[in-house]
Amino acid sequence: MNRFAPLAAAPILMLAACGNGGADTSSAPASAPAKPARVLSDAEKATLLASLPAPYNEGDLENGRRAFARCRSCHTIGEGGPDMAGPNLYGVFGRKAGERPRYSYSNAMRTADFTWDAEKLDHWLQNPRTFLPGNKMTFPGLPDDKDRRDVIAFLKVETGYQAEPAPAPAS
């Protein structure tokens, strides 16, 4: 027997353990392939970052990407990306909690009465269990304020965030 065979099987077993994250696929049509993501240039990312409200406009996108690596085993962020153990996060800002179509949320999340914004996500990322007791997310949280700020800035830049247009001046 090849002595490396158990090592080769480890990644497959880890992926198999993730399953479909409770996503209800019994009656859902096969999901369409993810749209090819429009890759933003570094200049476009910098412009979008600078347009974010404080403190996210001072976020470190590279640190946010690294910190978000802990989330990638359960979440995708690309437009049209699949749900995994957790829902796809594209378009999360401005979405009502528990309302991603075809994702099987916990009752706590389905009945939550809030819309995702940076402040809510910051509290969620700090400790999901205490933010919304009864949710099914097993992630222990990001205790570091800077990591949370940077993850939120990273997600705003990478998940199609659209800043609210400024109100028109009164005439």
Q: What confidence tens digit (pLDDT) does each residue in 73-127 have?
A: 999 999 999 999 999 999 999 999 999 999 999 999 999 999 999 999 999 999 9
pLDDT at site 122: 97
CA–CA dist 125, 40 (Å, integer):
25
Return the ∠ at Cα 101 (arms to 85 and 21), rounded to 5°: 15
Q: What confidence tens digit (pLDDT) does each residue in 51-80 have?
A: 999 999 999 999 999 999 999 999 999 999
Burial label for 168, CB within 10 Å (0-12, 13-18, 19+), is exposed
pTM of full prediction above 0.85: no
